[in-house]
Amino acid sequence: MAQAIFKSWFVDFEPVKAKMGALEAGGSDEDVLIAAMKAISGKDQNQLARFKAEQPEQYNELRTTAELFPAAMQDSEIGEIPEGWEIGFLNEIAEFTSNRVNVSDLNSGNYISTENMLENKKGVIEASSLPSSQSVPGFYPGDILVSNIRPYFKKIWLADRSGGRSPDVLGFKGIHPQTTEFLFNFLYQDRFFDFMMLTSKGAKMPRGDKKAIMNLKLPIPSLSLMKIFSSRVRSYHGSSKLLKEQSNTLAGIRDILLPRLLSGELNLAQVNQTMEIAQ
């Protein structure tokens, strides 16, 4: 859901194009604003009217968000972008983290290496071992970890805890407060991993070039819009963590109960009772 909103706002520029369409149709300033509100919320005219009556505070927040999008596009070196936005580099919104932690303070649950990061943006699992060095680069909740080895595996994780990482795992954080989710969703795109590969070094085991990575160009919206987006999708990332934990718990119960069910040691009624207790 967060990626769908990011794509709509910052890749396809749907709120901007909705405003442009309303202008071309001869709409008033209010019509133009309403068009953007529809694009952002997915609501039609009648639904917006009910939304205004039933949830006026949220309606005003939606209106404020719509006002932040321009009503025109402009040419740029990377294609058309919303009017007033600038083409900048990744280093204008992100920086590498540099703190270090003692390995003695780490465990299998908070040490992240390329080996226990999952391919295709699926997060992390527990580490099978810890490094032999005394210290490693560290990370904090909200840091964004990306495997720098073989970027085509697309390994990325938004940290929800503190810990340590392999030197082959890059740590990013937003330069501006309250924009973590904007940065994470930008780095989550295939375009970022494609650029890592394009500028990587080594043929057999390509490794991202840290200096080149920060030179990735992107359209930069207003800070207010980045913060609003981050605030809007923040709960999605929290829910994602909770759902993964619940899924892992249910998978563990399944693995315990299924062999006993198949062997006849348990019957279906006993299994259902156990599942109800677990829930």
The confidence score (pLDDT) of residue 239 equals: 63
Give the max Cα distance, the chain.
73
Architecture of domain 91-220: Alpha-Beta Complex (3.90)
Distant-in-sequence, close-in-space partners of 80: CB < 8 Å, separation ≥ 6: 73, 74
pLDDT along the chain (279 residues), means of 10: 96 98 96 97 95 96 97 96 97 96 96 97 95 96 97 97 97 96 98 97 92 97 97 81 70 78 75 64
In the chain, where are the structural domains located? 2-82, 91-220, 225-278
Q: Which two tokens stand for residue 244?
A: 């993964």
pLDDT on residue 256: 78
On whether the CB atoms of residues 168 and 110 are closer than 8 A, the answer is no
CA gap 20, 70 in Å, rounded: 9
